[in-house]
Amino acid sequence: MRNCNTPKCPKRIVIIGAGPTGLGAAHRLTELGHENFVVYERNSYVGGLSSSFYDEKGFTWDFAVHVAHSHYHYVDQLMDSLLPGGYFHHERKSWIRDYDSWIPYPFQYNFRHLPPQHCDECLNGLLQLRMQTDVEKHTAKAHSIQNFKEWMLQGFGEGITRHFMLPYNLKNWSIDPALMGVQWLGDRVPVVDVERVQRNLRENRDDVEWGPNHVFQFPKRGGTGSIWREMAARLPENRITLSSEVVSVDGKSRKVQLADGTVDEYDCLISTAPLPRLAQWLAIPSLMVTASKLKYTHVYVMGLGFDSPMPKHLAEKTWIYCPGTRDVFYRVTPFSNFSPHHVPDINGSSSFLCEISRAGTEPLQNPGDFLSRVLQDMNRMGVMPESEHEVHTYPMTAEFGYPIPTLDRDDILAELMAQLEPLGIISRGRFGGWKYEVANMDHSIMQGVEAVNRILGVGEECTWPNPSRVNAGKS
């Protein structure tokens, strides 16, 4: 891609999408004093999947759970500057609800809460795995792990895989983990320390201090979307055009056409749209065929508001994983625990987010169709507050929810990017870059920032090309 920071370059940069990646790019352009850019956003609001909504009943809703944990000093400073003093800091207290038991997260260090037989199966699986590993070290039988399911079995043993890892991931991804690669894992799932597990069992000890988001911050008011609204508000006037849907992109003439007929020329295009959608806009047959091979999930989120306070046994829980096949959702979040301002009256009301996943190959459904099942399952699980009035609901849908890291994902992406870049297009973001391992909010911001650095010749990209390097520590 040619450098857009030269006297001969028209310097017109068009950004598609005002989610974290698009806003990150716009922020960086403004920071560097580059004025000739525009952001086109098809929705009437900014934030993408990290948006928040305030309804007529006085409830604030996020689309699913978003945790402001950062791998970057740049993002830390940006977040602090956007909402100075505007965050609550929470200790992650995640739980798993299954087998009629409450199991602290992570499962592999806390399965002592399972029924005795299942607990024994989990421990025996780890011990057998350790013996197997020792034998392989001395007999040169070790083999490389080919897929996510193999990784579960080799890292956790048969018991933990059967009782948590496999059922939860089947629900979350809506695909057989044997069809998923392993390059995306990084710091998202821990490898088990068997001695630590045995110590926890001996001491009847809960062990919850693993993970990149053990302590996280959350906006005091306005939900996660308050971050993006403030970020957008600080951009120069008229840089973001809302309710502007792109309908086609001409890569040869470098033009973008909107639904209202507007045509805008670009020298460099940063697209955060889902890759299959971008391929359709470009109408290049080979690109469309390749992009259609990418797999994803639909996500439905049911927001539930109650006219009673949060039950005491849920008052300190941040989110709840639900691997059981009986439950329609894969995760439940007691959302009013994140901020008292999410509800009209924290002493007399409470709110929850329930997330449901379906394969992207299935037709989109009305999220309201899940309501009766959601209420039934919450009641059976013992997580639904008593309410004198009808439950207030706020259903939300994402056609593109999770980009699935399939076995062939990296080959598909390499082929797509090789065709896009000669057209002056950098595709980045959760679905523009299609790398789940760098799809958190901080990663998404930095994908936009680094794309601009590369375009203007002031720095290189790291996040999208080198996820493992980024996730290894703070940069």
| CA 78/CA 89 separation, integer angstroms | 17
Give pLDDT, residue 6: 44
Q: Alpha carbon of 70 to those of 156, 268, 270: distances in Å? A: 27, 28, 23
Q: Alpha carbon of 346 to those of 58, 305, 317, 335, 343: distances in Å? A: 11, 11, 16, 11, 6
| CA 157/CA 121 separation, integer angstroms | 9
Any idea where the domains of the chain sit in the sequence? 13-51+71-85+221-292+406-471, 108-203, 296-403
Residue 181 contacts residue 147 (beta carbons within 8 Å): yes
pLDDT in tens, 405-441: 999 999 999 999 999 999 999 999 999 999 999 999 9
| CA 65/CA 211 separation, integer angstroms | 16
| CA 188/CA 202 separation, integer angstroms | 27
Please enumerate in sequence order all residues whose Cβ is within 8 A of that of 51, keeping only pairs 6 or more positions apart, or say none.
43, 45, 62, 63, 224, 225, 228
Give pLDDT, residue 389: 77
Please enumerate in sequence order all residues whose Cβ is within 8 A of that of 134, keeping only pairs 6 or more positions apart, or say none.
none
pLDDT in tens, 184-237: 986 444 568 999 999 999 999 999 876 656 788 999 999 999 999 999 999 999
Please enumerate in sequence order all residues whose Cβ is within 8 A of that of 80, keeping only pairs 6 or more positions apart, or say none.
none
Give pLDDT, residue 1: 53
Q: Which CATH superfamily is domain 296-403 in?
A: Protoporphyrinogen oxidase, mitochondrial; domain 2 (3.90.660.20)
Candidates 3.50.50.60, 3.90.1310.10, 1.10.1030.10, 3.40.1120.10; CATH matching 13-51+71-85+221-292+406-471: 3.50.50.60
Closest Cα partner for 328 from 364, 288, 373?
A: 373
Strand segments, DSSP code E, in 242-335 are 246-250, 255-258, 263-265, 268-271, 296-306, 319-321, 331-333
Query: What type of residue is 320?
Result: I
Residue ranges of the chain whose pLDDT lies below 50? 2, 5-8, 10, 138-142, 187-189
Quote the pTM value.
0.94
Give pLDDT, residue 143: 62
Query: What type of residue is 465?
Result: P
Give pLDDT, residue 413: 99
Give pLDDT, residue 215: 83
Helix (H, G, I), strand (E, B) or coil at 467: helix
Same fold across 13-51+71-85+221-292+406-471 and 296-403: no
Residue 190 structure tokens? 């821990």
**Region of residue 401 (phi > 0: left; psi between -120 and 50: alpha; otherwise: beta):** alpha
Please count the helices (runs of H) and the strands (runs of E) in the chain: 13, 19
Give pLDDT, residue 88: 95
For the chain, the maximum distance between any two Cα atoms, rounded to a whole number of angstroms, is 72
